[in-house]
Chain A
């Protein structure tokens, strides 16, 4: 079973690696979007799926990364790839700064604090107009070929998934799960829960920062409302829950299935697609609260590490 899954994954990866050679521009950009969602939903999973601390402001790391990448390209003349990678630095700094006080908050209080964080960061970006361009945003040079972005975004998706696998098969991963299960018991058993949460939060902020930088380069133009939308956080959450929180392949499945679903429905039912999407989410939460992977794991007795 495990070997089968592994082979399937390798085959899919092989297919994706050669996709830009023959696929249309539409397919490639759609796949880039899926990669982006895999990386974002997978990152959200690292803090919220594992420890149960629901972050409603994760797009803040994405936005900070996008602005870092855009500024490094336009102001400092960096190449887009290192500029995007550098996006993880301010994202990590922000995670440390915010995580240290806020991870002490429990349940809905943490969620709301994170929601506030995103609004604050967006307001700051809009306010410092001379530096960030304010509401009129930043324009980047147009990209000539999207294949490099495709591979970079794909790399981010793979890296997040491998990182998740590495964590879930480690004691660190078990410790994060024990925080979700019963934080007081975990603490009493000698687990430094504050530190573990901070590590998880830090790791969960890195890739949204990088992906944000790639997004800025790929879309050639960013503005505060475009890179700090609450909807992006909500989409990450839904994808992760749909696929299965606290699992390796859950965010991947959630990102792929929901992106494809949304694309198909959007094309056919232009006006009601959001209603259909919403109904699907309600159905999923009611019928399989542990997501697709949760159902599969229960039915086929799969280990958690899938």
Chain B
């Protein structure tokens, strides 16, 4: 699908009681690019991620992945269609070892057959020496990296990253950013929620801006940075 959209969110609305977390939000994502999703706290970024991955059920609108409707599917069904995600708060499996954290999400072939791929990924983020350590014993940054490669283990076409840079030290951050750029080279599509503007500007080709659950702007980073409405949403009038 070189020209079409890999992900289409159409007029999606999600309410929690009286709060409209996502309000008639539409966005379209083309394959093979890195997208940013930014907005002030509480603007609905994570809720939108949850709607796409099936953790929250949208109230209105539809979500299509590779021309198939995925709103209404269960999270594991969405995942198996090729969407992987990480979480804002780390969600590794603490009492599984680093290696097991990867093996457990593999879907085909025996465990032994997946070991090689898992070890390659651990080497990729320099965690190979900690393969038999419980994930809960790793440092915050290491857990963040482990969660990142756990997504890669399932080989998804679309990867949603929820604040991948938060709490990662500068050296690790550079590795992580390098890894994300490498994904693009491999033809993956990436959608990143991020607060660090430097990261977004340096990484993303297109940026969506949410405010109070509505999309208020979209465009290349440099255009977004100059956008008045965006500045207003972030810094106030």
Contact = CB atoms under 8 A, between A and B. Distances in A.
Do A and B truly interact?
A: yes
A5 to B, nearest CB: 18
Interface stretch (B2-10, B15-23, B98-106): B98-106
Nearest 8 interchain pairs by C-beta: A190-B79, A181-B93, A185-B91, A174-B104, A189-B105, A187-B75, A190-B80, A192-B76
Nearest to B105: A189
Interface of B: 53, 55, 74-76, 79-80, 84-85, 87, 91-96, 100, 103-107, 110-111, 150-151, 154
A182 interface: yes
Contacts of A192: 74, 76
Nearest to B53: A188
Given A171-B106, A189-B105, A184 B91 contact: yes
A130 interface: no
A117 interface: no
B76 A178 contact: no
A170 B111 contact: yes
B144 to A, nearest CB: 14
Contacts of A81: none
Given A177-B93, A178-B96, A171 B79 contact: no
B92 to A, nearest CB: 8
A181 B96 contact: yes
Contacts of B106: 171
A191 B94 contact: no
A306 to B, nearest CB: 14
A182 B101 CA distance: 11
Given A181-B96, A182-B91, A188 B103 contact: no
Given A190-B80, A191-B104, A185 B87 contact: yes
Contacts of A171: 103-104, 106, 110-111
Given A184-B55, A188-B53, A190-B107, 9 more contacts: A171-B103, A171-B106, A174-B100, A174-B111, A178-B104, A184-B75, A185-B92, A188-B76, A189-B151
Most A CB atoms within 10 A — which of B74, B76, B100, B110? B76
Contacts of B110: 171
B12 to A, nearest CB: 18
A185 B154 CA distance: 13
Nearest to A177: B96
7 contacts: A174-B96, A181-B95, A185-B92, A187-B79, A189-B150, A189-B154, A190-B105
A191 B105 contact: yes
